[in-house]
Amino acid sequence: MKVYCLSSDAAKPCFVISFRGLMIMLDCGLSAQSVLSFLPLPPVPSARLAALPSYSPPHINDPLLEGELKECCGRVFVDSLPEFCPPLEQVVDFAQLDAILISNYTCMMALPFVTEGTGFKGQVYATEPTLQIGRFYLEELSEWLREAGGGAGGGAGGARRWKELLHLLPAPLSQAARPRAWRRLYSAQVLAKALARVRVVGYDERVELFGALEASPVSSGFCLGSANWVLRSPHEKIAYVSGSSTLTTHPRPINQVRAPAHPASSTRYVPHAPRPIKQVRAPRTPPINQVRALRTPPHQPGTCPAHPAPSTRYVTHAHHAPRPINQVRAPRTPPHQPGTCPAHPAPSTRYVPRAPRPINQVRAPAHPAPSTRYVTHAHHAPRPINQVRAPRTPPHQPGTCLHAHHAPSPHQPGTCPAHPAPSTRYVPRAPRPINQVRASTLTTHPRPINQAALRGADLLLLAGLTQTPAHNPDNMLGDLCVHAGVTLRGGGAVLLPVYPSGVLYDLLECLSMHLDTAGLSQIPLYVISPVADASLAYSNILAEWVSTAKQARVYVPEEPFPHAALARAGRLRHAARLHDHSFSEHFRTPCVVFCGHPSLRFGAAVHLLELWAANPAHAVIFTEPDFPYLEALAPFQPLAMKAFHCPIDTSLNYSQCNKLVRELRPRALAVPEQYAPPRGAAGAGGAGAGARACVTADVPVLALRRGGVAAVAARRTLARAAAAPALLPALRPRAPLTAELHVRDNVLTLLPPPAPLQPSAEPDYDLGPPNVDALVRCLAAEGLGAARVEASPAGAVLHLPRHDALLHVERAHTHVFCEPRGRPALRRALRAAARRDPAPL
């Protein structure tokens, strides 16, 4: 067995396995990193991009290079239609491929490059969501480039000369990987032909591949319809894991959400159940300019007829939780001024200094409660500023105290010996109220990964791990919500360059819930894509492919995803293009816009970024991990709007991958060279000073590089064969068996042996060269028609025009040439004609 690697991008893999006489391609990913070397293609002409100065290498005067290169802020770009890096063609002949197995829709973008114009005659297998959503991806990409039609500066879009002078160009253009192999995108007609070859399969369905192997897709948990493939033979098993995720089966809630460092540079931590609330202890020393009154008996809340319960704010005692949370609550009544009641002198509390600015006071609940946070001014209550009030619950419920004597009546502060009256602590007010964020958890929508079907493989081929191992998806989702909320409160718009499916569904759900919690439910959401309508509608009819929680909503009945309800309520609007009347009529800011392309080289995101680049109130947030955000923004510099990088990649990270490999226990492991441990690395995962993260295992690890071939020793020592029914009576237990072995389409069959030939007393043998005239008559007698006879130095050549067959008759040999896949009747007739000739010369 041999494994070929045809892609240099481990996130967009392409492998070919040669096993048991079959050539099977696993994924055909299209690397789009090459588009970052080109100028953006705006939907409308851009005066700024057209005015960029041209670039030519120093001391080079080449008229063919004129207009191909332009410079922006010290960076050189190609002014042409973007080009992509397809899988390598010289290693494997695509016409010899027997089947292509697609794991998910992000790994099928190069399918037209493989199947069209290469002589491919095999079959492509993929799940139904992979086919449909992959069609959305391909159609959107084709539509964006078709509408652009030329270079950003209005050129013809046929730049070729710069590839010949690559060594003279500045970095990073001079470091481009094999630009001569880059190709333009396919047309819509070629795309339709390629997708027509795909055969839809379901999870755990067994597909027979020419009798030699059985292929089964199993759920990978990465996206809708994503699958890991298992190849089985009677004695071997190969598992291909690409783009898998465990977030669906093991959701982890966020512990903390860090606020941005721009408007309110403070960090607030959001608790998550069932752990105790993380609380913050107030300072032990009194604040500056505050005076401590004489210690007198404390004033009990609500016991004075003239003064109802004041808006005192309590900090929980240390024995209720490890440390108290700074939580704020607006007062319901005017505060009770200490010392103004004759019956109650000034209690032992700390007084707010007589400063012009009020001091924010903090109160935490008596027991760990949901994460409700209130911020208000101490003397300008009752309306809270920029905060959201959670459902009101009493601070101490009867019967919830661990002391049994408090069960009959509510627990009053200060009346329990074990619970003394809490002290009031004041926290100085920040320049602006702090936007607090409710805890967010990224629970993806696909079905969970199926690990049982992957165990015990002879070879585990691994690809598609996370591209951002240092970023946790939960934390990135929380940061995204914080950045979006701060930008929207400041009156700005938020631009999210995303794909038309995948994480888009989760972002719409999580961001809409966050905006509701933050009091920004009036903010509209827009999705702009040529396939936006189809993508949003199709996602809600895939109940069998989503997680269990999403499936349960179908039987309520409700849609699995909430974007249909958002669209009915008017909060979510989608359009195919920016100039659509339905979009331009309802467009308003502040808003959140989801559009493509994440590379910022084509699509609606290019025009919106050009429109908002000079306004620092707006923000662009990058969530797709496929492109470095600084390189994506390079053609738009100088940029005044804020840019945030919150990559959300739910694929397996290296620690999860190492754990998965240990659980699956394969006999051999094959990974791209980017994942393999470096030479001389020690420790688990290559952990060491300056060592990069990698995949480690206790089994042999094969590192695959682009264009490389790795041989894997398979345990193919036995083969399974079927016995014909006519042979069964001759079977004897533990005895040798005489049979005829018949092989057809990799299926072995044992047939009864042919009857022995009866030896004749005087066998006849034809010796000498055959008689050509007699052979021509025999061919005509067999119904093969008249044969043309041409003399040759070694004998004669007989040509049968009707059957396109040749017979070279020589003195010592007779050669018959016909079609490789000729009809069996023709071969039998030729053999019979040769045997009927009894008269040699």
Structure confidence at residue 763 (pLDDT): 61
Residue from 839, 841, 822, 837 nearest 779 by CA: 837
CATH no. for 2-249: 3.60.15.10
Structure confidence at residue 243 (pLDDT): 86
Instruction: Return the SS3 of 658.
Output: helix
Pairing of strands 99-101, 22-26: parallel
Structure confidence at residue 541 (pLDDT): 76
Task: Enumerate the CATH 3.40.50.10890 domain ranges in the chain, comma separated.
Answer: 468-645
Residue from 549, 474, 476, 484 nearest 515 by CA: 484
Instruction: Return the SS3 of 807.
Output: strand
Beta bridge partner(s), residue 807: 798, 816
Residue from 523, 520, 519 nearest 387 by CA: 519
Q: Where are the alpha helices (DSSP H) in 434-573?
A: 473-489, 503-517, 532-539, 548-554, 563-568
Task: Enumerate the CATH 3.30.310 domain ranges in the chain, comma separated.
Answer: 772-836
Q: Which fold has domain 468-645?
A: Rossmann fold (3.40.50)
Contacts for 273 with CB less than 8 Å, ≥ 6 apart: none
Residue length of the chain: 841
d(CA 424, CA 403): 24
Mean pLDDT by 10 residues, the chain (841 residues): 91 92 93 92 87 87 85 90 90 93 93 92 93 91 79 55 87 87 89 94 91 90 90 90 72 36 38 41 41 42 46 39 42 47 46 43 40 37 39 40 37 43 41 40 67 89 91 90 93 93 87 90 91 83 74 72 83 87 84 92 92 93 93 92 93 90 91 83 44 81 90 71 78 75 82 75 65 83 83 83 82 78 75 65 46
Structure confidence at residue 171 (pLDDT): 87
Cβ atoms 24, 97 nearer than 8 A? yes
Asked if the peptide bond before residue 557 counts as cis, ω within 30 degrees of 0, the response is yes
Contacts for 673 with CB less than 8 Å, ≥ 6 apart: 703, 704, 705
Residue where the block lists tokens 């974007």: 563
Cβ atoms 495, 608 nearer than 8 A? yes
Pairing of strands 323-324, 572-575: unpaired
Structure confidence at residue 206 (pLDDT): 93
Count other C-beta atoms under 10 Å from residue 479's C-beta.
23
d(CA 138, CA 110): 9
Phi-psi region of 777 (alpha: psi -120 to 50; beta: other; left: phi over 0): alpha
Quote the Cα angle for 257-261-267, to 5°.
35
Task: Enumerate the CATH 3.60.15.10 domain ranges in the chain, comma separated.
Answer: 2-249
Pairing of strands 75-78, 213-219: unpaired
Count other C-beta atoms under 10 Å from residue 622's C-beta.
25
Q: Which fold has domain 772-836?
A: TATA-Binding Protein (3.30.310)
Instruction: Return the SS3 of 436.
Output: coil
Measured between alpha carbons, how far is residue 778 from residues 511, 786, 791 in Å?
84, 10, 19
Structure confidence at residue 29 (pLDDT): 92
